[in-house]
Amino acid sequence: MPTFNDFANFRTMITPVIIKVLFWIGAVGAFVYGAYTFFSWLGWYFNWISLLIMLLGPFVWRIFCETFLLLFQIHGELKKLNEK
């Protein structure tokens, strides 16, 4: 369990938790935005784009967030190797 001292000396990363929260906000936001544009009846062509935003938006956002989490996982593994 990380202590305040670990937090204050930057031995514990809080950004991975923030990225996970931002993922859920972004995924819900993409779905809501796609649903809003779909039901606003702005035209047939725009409805196809809004469906893509609703369905693919959360997946693209997940890939983007996982890329950042990968950096922190690499950092953790390098830290373990350094301790050996």
Which domain covers residue 49, as residue numbers? 27-83
Residue 46 has pLDDT above 90, yes or no: no
In this structure, what DSSP letter does residue 12 have? S
What value does the mean pLDDT take over residues 18-36? 93
Q: What pTM was estimated for this model as a whole?
A: 0.75
> Residue 3 has what pLDDT?
79
Q: Is residue 3 part of a domain?
A: no
Residue 56 included in any domain: yes
In the chain, the number of structural domains is 1
CB atoms < 10 A from the CB of 50, how many? 20
Question: Is 21 part of a structural domain of the chain?
Answer: no
Cβ-contact 34, 50 below 8 angstroms: yes
- Residue 13 counted as domain residue: no
Q: Is 45 part of any domain?
A: yes
Query: Is residue 44 situated within a structural domain?
Result: yes
Assigned domain for 1 exists: no
Q: What is the mean pLDDT of residues 9-27?
A: 88
Q: Using alpha carbons only, give the angle 17, 20, 25 rounded to the nearest 5 degrees.
A: 130
Query: Per-residue pLDDT for 42 more than 70?
Result: no
Is position 51 within any domain?
yes
